[in-house]
Structure 1
Amino acid sequence: MIKVDSLTRTYGSYVAVDDISFECKPGTVTGFLGPNGAGKSTTMRVMVGLTPPTHGQVTIGGRHYIDIPNPGRYVGVLLDASAQHAGRSGRETLMLGAIAMGLPTSRVDEMLQLVSLTPAEAKRRVGNYSLGMKQRLGIAHALLGDPQVLILDEPANGLDPAGIRWMRGLLKAYADRGGTVLLSSHLLHEVEQIADEMILIGRGKIVAQGDRQSLLAQSGPESTLVTSLDNAALANALSAKGYHPVPAGDGIRVDCAPVEVGRVALEAGSVLSDLRSGSAGLEDLFLELTSDTQREGIN
């Protein structure tokens, strides 16, 4: 478990992280979401002892990172995929990690295979890797010691769509085996497909946290967008049930769940050509809650 307790980090008068608290539990993937500069990376650096806290603390399994013996065997970390020795090969990078952690060298081949780096790629210097290949190598290094906790900062950067799907499956399987994953990103759409819990941060403060359903509940009442072959007849049927349909584009918007609209349409014999949620999504909520941190104006 990762426990962040009243954590604050300041740089002079600048407050990078402002009195935040949250937990990441075993068996779950926690998405740590916020715009660039929101405080995500600073929080993660404090977690692994690279940046001292100004106030508060972070513990992993009840201990500070610096107090964990052979920490790579308990906590896998990837904070910057590009911060790897450019002159070493991918295999050499993992081999040195294995030696430092007291692992058998066979673990290196296992990890290279897991992240789909070929033998030829493993022999190349890291300085000649693409960003996506560096991410794969960084994930391999984080998993090298078979840790119980993973702390990953923007691991999807540089991965192609197939690579992002692969990473989602890898992390979900890791959590399903009881591991704890903290995954930071500014790409909400990618994280919401895998995260069990999400923490939204802006200007160093947590602005919302919870699972997907609880966060969506904050965005207002549920609504539905529906189009039928006879919108007028469907609108009358919805009105007769006590709903209040209004025109919306080529169809109708009504403040109830899609399943309720579908039930009314079935009873009325209406043929639907489109039925979907019209509620604000997580992206809308995210942008609304962090609007004062966005460089672009939110209309």
Structure 2
Amino acid sequence: MVVMISVENLTKRYGGYTAVDDVSFAVRPGAVTGFLGPNGAGKSTCMRMMCGLTPPTSGTATVLGKPYAALPNPGRHVGVLLDASAQHAGRTGREVLTLGAMVMGIDRSRVDEMLDLVGLSESEASRRIRNYSLGMRQRLGIAHALLGDPQVLILDEPANGLDPAGIRWMRGLLRGYADEGGAVLLSSHLLHEIEVVADELVVIGRGSIVAQGTKAELMAASGTTVRTTDDAAFAGLLQQAGLGVTPTASGLQVEADPLAIGQVAARHGVVLTELRQASSAGLEEMFLQLTAYDAREEVAA
């Protein structure tokens, strides 16, 4: 399998505190990989290590087979957006992109293409960044990440500050980029922001990977929701059949596919009022369970 980003046993310690603990995963071309975890779980630290901004304590991170710092003219290969607020407040949006084009050695006509792509008008592009909203800074940051026509995008919380229309626009942009063969690593602490667009998910909590796989695999792992006229009695029958059952507010969460559950119901004449494969709601429940111990603001990202 072709790998665009490879993270192997990546660890970062600050004194006695371990921010990232033995993290390994890969990002392939043609896919959007969602990097999920609560605030403070270690996502930003991982991404800073991938981009050469924070030295790892141990482990490696490579992009296109090399450490980021070893890439010639890296902006032509990897587009990065780690902090939309870290742009020079006194420059205009156009000036930021023009300077980027000069540094990368690309035609300045690309600046107009990117401004059009991200929906910044001429008047907005001529405005000082100190007068930009966070959503406008995010759009400018995405324009800068795409400026060099890179093969890989590394984006940390790019939906922050975007309104619902902006989030939908961003999803479409990233989906189109991946469909053309690009690789996207997209971090968020909010599952619904990227659940629609992501092909693969990496879930991190307290600095360690707690789950990873395709979206379909993780949804299957979260089981099937079932409701009957007597949930308690049916739970006992399912357990007798060797199936894992967890009562929830919406019925029973069963660690099996709908066919296996339906067969148990048919054998015992149980009336089912609901039977459905885990949906995004099931995926969200799994995400919250996996990261519940780390869902707090105080931990450093």
Shorter-chain TM-score bucket reads: 0.7 to 0.9
- Number of paired residues? 276
Partner of 2:172 in structure 1?
169
- Equivalent residue, structure 2, for 1:68: 71
Question: How high is the TM-score relative to the length of structure 1?
Answer: 0.83
SS at match of 2:21: strand
Determine the structure 1 residue equivalent to 2:116.
113
Indicate the RMSD between aligned Cα atoms, in angstroms: 3.1
The answer for the alignment partner of 1:283 in structure 2 is: 284
Check the 8 A contact 2:5/2:64 in 1, yes or no: yes
Q: Which amino acid aligns with 1:82?
A: S
Q: Tell me the equivalent position of 1:200.
A: 203
Match of 1:45 in 2: 48
**Deviation (angstroms), 1:295:** 3.1
Per-residue CA shift, 1:27-81, capped at 9, x if unaligned? Answer: 1100000011111000000111100111011001111111100000000000000
- Report whether the alignment pairs 1:122 with 2:91: no
Deviation of 1:26 after TM superposition, in Å, equals 0.6
Residue identity in the other structure for 1:164: I
Give the alignment partner of residue 87 of structure 1, picking from 75, 81, 90.
90
- Aligned-partner Cα distance in 1 for 2:82–2:49: 11
Q: Deviations over 1:225-264 (max 9, x none)?
A: 58xxxx79xxxxxx9xxx9xxxx99x986968679999xx
Is this contact kept in 2: 1:225–1:278, CA < 8 A? no
Highest CA radius of gyration, 1 or 2? 1
Return 5+ residue gaps in structure 1 as ranges. Answer: 233-238, 263-271
Q: How does 1:1-299 map to 2 (within 5 A)?
A: 1-219=4-222, 221-225=223-227, 281-295=282-296
Asked whether the 8 Å contact 1:7–1:17 carries over to 2, the reply is yes
1: CA distance, partners of 2:61 / 2:94: 32
Moved more, 272-281 or 52-61: 272-281
Aligned residue type for 1:167: M
CA distance in 1 between counterparts of 2:94 and 2:29 reads 30
Q: Confirm or deny: 8 A CA contact 2:90 2:128 kept in the other structure.
A: yes
RCO higher in structure (CA 8 A, sep ≥6): 2
Q: What secondary structure, in the 3-state scheme, does the structure 2 residue paired with 1:31 have? A: strand
Aligned to 1:236: none
The answer to whether the Cα contact below 8 Å between 1:224 and 1:257 also exists between their aligned partners in 2 is no
Following superposition, the deviation at residue 224 of structure 1 comes to: 3.4
Inter-partner Cα distance in structure 1 for 2:131 and 2:31: 35
Q: Work out whether residues 224 and 276 of structure 2, in 8 Å CA contact, stay in contact via their aligned partners in 1.
A: no
Aligned-residue offset at 1:274: 8.1
State how far apart, in whole Å, the 2-side matches of 1:123 and 1:202 are. 41
Query: After TM superposition, where is structure 1 displaced by more than 3 Å over at least 4 residues in a row?
Result: 251-262, 272-280
Instruction: Give the TM-score normalised by the residue count of structure 2.
Output: 0.82
Alignment partners' CA distance in 1, 2:118 and 2:273: 42
Q: Does structure 1 conserve the Cα–Cα contact (< 8 Å) formed by 2:220 and 2:278?
A: no
Contact 2:129–2:137 under 8 Å retained in 1: yes
SS of equivalent residue, structure 1 residue 104: coil
Per-residue CA deviation, residues 123-169 of structure 1 (Å, 9 max, x unaligned), is: 00001000000000000000000000000000000000000000000
